[in-house]
Structure 1
Amino acid sequence: MINKIIRILKKKFIVSKSYSKKILFNSFDFLIKKIFEETIECLLSFNKYNFNKNCYNRYFFIKEICDLLYHIIIFISYNNISFLEIEKEFFRRNKISGLKEKNFR
């Protein structure tokens, strides 16, 4: 699924007026600010959903998660990191406990 999303985003990079292209060609600070903004919005919508678990709050929580993931994918693309590299890191971490992994940092 993530690969399908990345293919869609890469197609959007080609379009001259796409938001994805605007972000990529804007400053790196702009992208970082967007990630922080989306993280805060995600946390706020989570709090609303956690307080009152209804379809309406769940829908907006999911929307904010999508926004955050979108900006993180752009961030990954901006830094020329492949998802294969990320996948390898997940597999490496799967073989050791989280506590041991944290101690190696």
Structure 2
Amino acid sequence: MIKKIIKKIFFSIKKRNSYSKYLIKNKEILIRKLNEECMELITEIYKNKKKKIINELCDLLYHLIIVIIKYKIKYKEIKKKINKPN
């Protein structure tokens, strides 16, 4: 199920709306947005508000996928790292 959600987000971003393009071209802004979304997610986790946690998680996922696109990270690279024991 999660894989479907991520795929859907990924392909919608791949169409590259203007905001996505803007983030891809502006590393500093992308970094700021990642930081902001992480902090918002942490805040909602602390407050224990599931609905808001989901909203912030989706925002962070969006920005993480922008990073994947910007740096041309392949699925197999991520999968390899996830499956690799520490």
Residue type of the alignment partner of 1:74: I
Q: Could you list the runs of 5+ residues in structure 2 that have no partner in the other structure? A: none
> How many residues are matched?
82
Distance in 1, Cα, partners of 2:34 & 2:67: 9
Greater C-alpha radius of gyration? 1
Distance in 1, Cα, partners of 2:11 & 2:27: 22
Q: Could you list the runs of 5+ residues in structure 1 that have no partner in the other structure? A: 50-56, 94-100
Per the normalisation by structure 2, the TM-score is: 0.84
1:68 corresponds to:
60
Greater relative contact order (Cα 8 A, min sep 6): structure 1 or 2? 2
Distance in 2, Cα, partners of 1:5 & 1:67: 10
Distance in 1, Cα, partners of 2:19 & 2:65: 13
1:43 corresponds to:
42
Per the normalisation by structure 1, the TM-score is: 0.70
**Shift >4 Å, 4+ stretches:** none
